[in-house]
Structure 1
Amino acid sequence: MRQPGDKMRLGAFLTATGQHIAAWRHPDVQADGGINLQEYIRIVKIAEAGKFDMMFLADNAGIWDRELESDGRSSRAGYFEPITLLSALSAVTEKIGLVATATTSFNEPYTIARKYASLDHLSGGRAGWNLVTSANAAEAYNYGLDVHLLHAERYNRAEEFADVVTGLWETWEDDALLFDKEGGRFFDPDKLKLLNHAGKYFKVRGPLNVPRTPQGRPVMVQAGSSEPGKELAARTAEVVFTAQPKLEDGIAFYADLKGRLARYGRTPCELKIMPGLSPVVGATREEAQAKFRELQDLIDPDVALGMLSSMAGHDLSGYPLDGPFPDLSDSDSGKGRLKVLTDTARRENMTIRELANHIAGTRGHNLVIGTPTEIADQMEEWFASEAADGFNIMPQALPGSLSDFVDLVIPELRKRGLFRDEYEGTTLRENLGLPWPELGGVRRAAKQDASLT
């Protein structure tokens, strides 16, 4: 139940040149933004000035086939490896959280645990790991496979992966480091433990060679909305990023996911649900609509159709563009996103062409176009209705759309008492209002879950 004085949490989803697939073509956007450190520095400082809880980087460990087939017309083919980028940004920021995606499908748990623990130390306790399973089949081709891992297999691997990473983060107790120069003891050996994990997918002795971090461990973020994704989030996540385009969808998702926590010995305050929200802000609604039309006019139809096909997990090029979105079977790609696309097409009676143009700016997330008051109204409604604990703001074009939100919408949220004036703490965990992680918490939950099945 929402308490008086509760504040929204806000993330800034910084996708290269912006959320809109054609943003890179806009005259006010730096076309090379995805591979331009100075541009990222400029953008993250805008978000930190707005007191965002975190910046959020998506990632793929390979170029999607849709980009290879776009005849060079897609801007999503080149961008930085996220941990490298966030390490650089940690040196020029002070309070904003630094969250990046890393797949469990094509990484090793020890490497991920070490990288994110290092980032947490480098940033003074501001790191977060967005745990995903790879929907992009092209990633498999970069890691020695001819066929992508099956959806169920990816989630089974992710479950064990999460346990190993959190276990490694906990091999050092909070006060293990002594730095006793006189006694010659750097750490207390009784407070450094081996992990000795041996499972179906991983065998990891440990311990981690990066000590306990400033916020105990990096914040765990999860972005899956399929049944396995929601169950993994209920057991391990502290923040969930989700695509919920309508209020009723958000309310149902929120209740479902929060309702799963008790079986893992968790309480609702231990998980923040932050749906994606892509705002287009103008002094008037007409001005906001004109800004969005300007971006829509830059869409390459083939690029938009390629993105829709990729998100749906099916090649749609053989279907009539002005015909209805077809009934498609589940693919081995992202199952939750296909449901969002299908529901949107049915609800809005969209053709394939219309849906492709729609997702070019939203990717299945909630698009809201209007004045600062209208956008704040919708955010407040979602927050009060328990459809969200906050939002991952997805600016259409960077940096302009982010600046518009910081300059125009955040003051309106503050006026209503819905968002902070200053950061409450120095770590991401403190600013999100998340508890200090107890040692062994995730592993205890896993044992409890096993006893229930």
Structure 2
Amino acid sequence: MTDRTDHLTLNVNLQAFGQRPAAWQFGDHDADTLIRPEHWIASAKAAERGLLDAVFFADQPALHNPDPRPGAQLEPIALAALLTAATEHVGVIASASTTYNDPVELAERLLGTDVVTGGRLGWNIVTTYNPAVSGNFGVDANPDRATRYERAGEFVDAVKTVWAGAAGDGGFRFDGEHFRFEGVTAVPPSAQGTPVLFQAGGSAQGRDLAARHAEGVFAVELTLPRAIENYADLTRRAAALGRRPGLPRITPGLSLVIGSTVEEARRRFDDFESRVPDSYALGSLSNVIAHDARTLDLDAPIPADILDKPWNPDEHPTSAGYRLTFLDWIQERRQQTVREILRDFGGYGARIVIGTPEQIADDMELWFRSRAADGFNLMIDHFPDGLVAFADEVAPLLQRKGIHKREYDHTTLREVIGAGTAG
């Protein structure tokens, strides 16, 4: 392990009631909870209590069946304005699609929000692969992966062009294959110049986009060796493009269930899982292995021909990065049954640690010092109590290890994560 003088970059994914699908069944929740400001503010304040860098919001602009897992109902950029008004330091990272937005309008909306938040906004750049979204925008299907990423690269260049105009005389002009426009913006630069750019794709195209533009990356990593390899790869790509050393900050997802003892944490996990139908986990597994997991024998291993078959990302849309890291993870569990895999698969898209604050802090330190991660995008089982437990019990241990800040010594998100100047 290497010595590091920097601190962890820590964000928390505010996933409705919590990362566990049955989180809505715990606590004093009702049908209106997810549209009440106090629900979101409580979690943002808990994140600030733990000196986290930012709270993060994904976005799926499409209707979905809320059974068995109700999802967020409010738009992320609107939530950013709400939460920064109710807190003093913690940033907000909002997802917005390059496939279903206009670059000029989004550039001004993001920058305007960054101005009113005092420079505490980040933009998570996504291209949208969920097939349910296309119909919500009046088109038959999402573009294929190559087209989405080609458009995304130009989209980010276009947004940056508008922001450069804002920093100058207000004028901007862009001539590209997908976008051509010129105009004037009245929106000024924010306290941090422009929003911090994050990216959440692990495919080859996603890595290229991250290496060129991102100041933070939401990665999906399940095994330490692969995480170290991918960290080095993305770092090399960014350096080859002349990026500032230390960027982008790489933050894999980390799902947490915290207990004062291992047994208590396991009971908490089991309580959450016992309330979720088997179809939920099987559906998530099906999405990753590109095969209907309901047809598998739960008491036998996943057949090798399913794991080894060629994968067409346009026929089976899912995160390419997650599929690759999952297949690597499953190699260590080839002899496990599907039932056992489903239990270990409990992060639903993120590595999961079920244990004591000490075990969690040790695990985070190992990944950080091994240069497998610069920090983590935390997935908390239930809000706000799971996040309060992290703030009160895990964060102090990370501080004692010298890898987590003891105070907010900067005012903007860009400064807090060490992203340097805008652009």
Give the TM-score, by structure 1 length: 0.86
| Amino acid in structure 2 at the alignment position of 1:152 | A
Shift, 1:29, TM fit: 6.0
Report the counterpart of residue 244 of structure 1 in structure 2.
221
- Contact 1:245 1:364 (C-alpha < 8 Å) held by counterparts: no
CA-based RMSD:
2.1
| Further displaced range: 413-422 or 308-317 | 308-317
Give the match's secondary structure for 1:394. Answer: strand
Distance 1:321 1:392 in 2: 31
With over 3 angstroms needed to count, the CA separation of the structure-2 counterparts of 1:143 and 1:322, relative to structure 1, is: farther
Report the counterpart of residue 113 of structure 1 in structure 2.
107
Alignment of 1:34-433 (within 5 A): 34-63=34-63, 67-68=64-65, 73-173=67-167, 191-192=168-169, 194-312=171-289, 314-325=291-302, 326-327=306-307, 328=309, 329-332=311-314, 333=317, 334-349=319-334, 350-359=336-345, 361-433=346-418
Query: How many residues matched?
Result: 414
Distance 2:420 2:161 in 1: 18
Report the counterpart of residue 5 of structure 1 in structure 2.
5
Distance 1:426 1:307 in 2: 39
Give the match's secondary structure for 2:95. Answer: strand
- Contact 2:3 2:369 (C-alpha < 8 Å) held by counterparts: no
| Amino acid in structure 1 at the alignment position of 2:327 | T
Shift, 1:146, TM fit: 1.2
- Contact 2:222 2:326 (C-alpha < 8 Å) held by counterparts: no
- Contact 2:333 2:341 (C-alpha < 8 Å) held by counterparts: no
Q: Provide Cα deviations, 1:161-188, integer angstroms capped at 9, x if missing partner.
A: 1101111111122xxxxxxxxxxxxxxx
With over 3 angstroms needed to count, the CA separation of the structure-2 counterparts of 1:25 and 1:310, relative to structure 1, is: farther
Distance 1:431 1:227 in 2: 29
In the alignment, structure 2 segments of 5+ residues that lack a partner are: none
With over 3 angstroms needed to count, the CA separation of the structure-2 counterparts of 1:21 and 1:126, relative to structure 1, is: same
With over 3 angstroms needed to count, the CA separation of the structure-2 counterparts of 1:108 and 1:356, relative to structure 1, is: farther
Q: Provide Cα deviations, 1:370-422, integer angstroms capped at 9, x if missing partner.
A: 22111111111111111111111110111121111111001111112111111
Distance 2:78 2:142 in 1: 26
Distance 2:398 2:348 in 1: 25
Give the match's secondary structure for 1:268. Answer: coil
Identity %: 39
- Contact 2:47 2:387 (C-alpha < 8 Å) held by counterparts: yes
- Contact 2:192 2:412 (C-alpha < 8 Å) held by counterparts: yes
Distance 1:347 1:282 in 2: 27
Q: Provide Cα deviations, 1:331-363, integer angstroms capped at 9, x if missing partner.
A: 22222222233333332234444444544x412
Distance 2:419 2:72 in 1: 34
| Further displaced range: 305-314 or 133-142 | 305-314
Shift, 1:92, TM fit: 0.7
Give the TM-score, by structure 2 length: 0.92
Give the match's secondary structure for 2:183. Answer: coil
Is structure 2 residue 16 aligned with structure 1 residue 16? yes
Q: Provide Cα deviations, 1:214-246, integer angstroms capped at 9, x if missing partner.
A: 101100000111111011100000000111112
Shift, 1:258, TM fit: 0.3
| Further displaced range: 84-93 or 307-316 | 307-316
